[in-house]
Amino acid sequence: MSLMEKFFLDRSSAQLVVVDVQEKLCVAMDPKVLEKLTKNISILLDSAAELGLPVITTEQYVKGLGETVPALKEKLPGKSLEKMTFSCCGGEGFMDALAANDRRQVILVGMETHVCVLQTALELLSAGYVVHLVCDAVMSRRKDNWKIALKSMAAAGAVLTSTESVLFQLLKVAGTDEFKKLSKLVR
């Protein structure tokens, strides 16, 4: 795999995975960090819709943790996949949904960074996917868990990135109608 194939997102190769941003889990999170996470995931969902990227969303144990927060749920293109496993990869239908999209780059966001996101990233990397972990769109209840998980995923081969980096890599050029519409989201 070339440097560009690993580190540079391409809209024809990328898909967005949103992990477990659920109502009852959000209650345990730092409100300021949660607000930033929700805003950044919202930007990525809007970008995915505009640029034609597939989106897969998961929800961990809905009976206990509730559904995806309304601010994000209204932007989802389809139904979330419910799971009991921490890794999305063990959830029913997840790997099939990924494979059906026929895209090898995964833009990964959600919570908690050191549990479900970490385990998902490791399994995706093991399965040959290129994982772009959006550091400002993942969170844990405690910052030390978040930091350790980022280090672990980077060591395993995930590309650490940010919401703006993802957006501008997918856009590639300024001046287009897409650029004019989506660049406003990060101003």
Tell me the pLDDT tens digit for each residue of 121-133: 999 999 999 999 9
Confidence of residue 182 (pLDDT cuts 50, 70, 90): confident
pTM of the model: 0.96
Give the residue numbers annotated as catalytic, written as ranges. Answer: 20, 83, 116
Pick the CATH number of 3-186 from 3.30.70.120, 3.40.50.850, 3.40.190.10, 3.40.50.970: 3.40.50.850
Lookup result for tokens 């969170």 = 139
% of the chain surpassing 90 pLDDT: 89
What is the pLDDT, as a whole number, of residue 19?
Answer: 98
- Kindly give the residue spans of alpha helices, DSSP state H, lying in the chain: 3-7, 23-26, 31-51, 62-65, 70-73, 94-101, 118-126, 143-156, 163-171, 177-183
Cα(38)–Cα(59) distance, integer angstroms: 15
Spell out the residues 6+ positions from residue 96 whose beta carbon is closer than 8 angstroms to its own: none
Give the containing element (helix H, strand E) for 108. strand 105-111
**Contact at 8 Å (CB) between 25 and 138?**
no
Strand partners, 83: 60
pLDDT in tens, 95-111: 999 999 999 999 999 99
Domain boundaries, the chain: 3-186
Q: What is the pLDDT of residue 155?
A: 98
The residue that leads in pLDDT, 106 or 5, is 106
Determine contact, residues 117/108, Cβ cutoff 8 Å.
Answer: yes
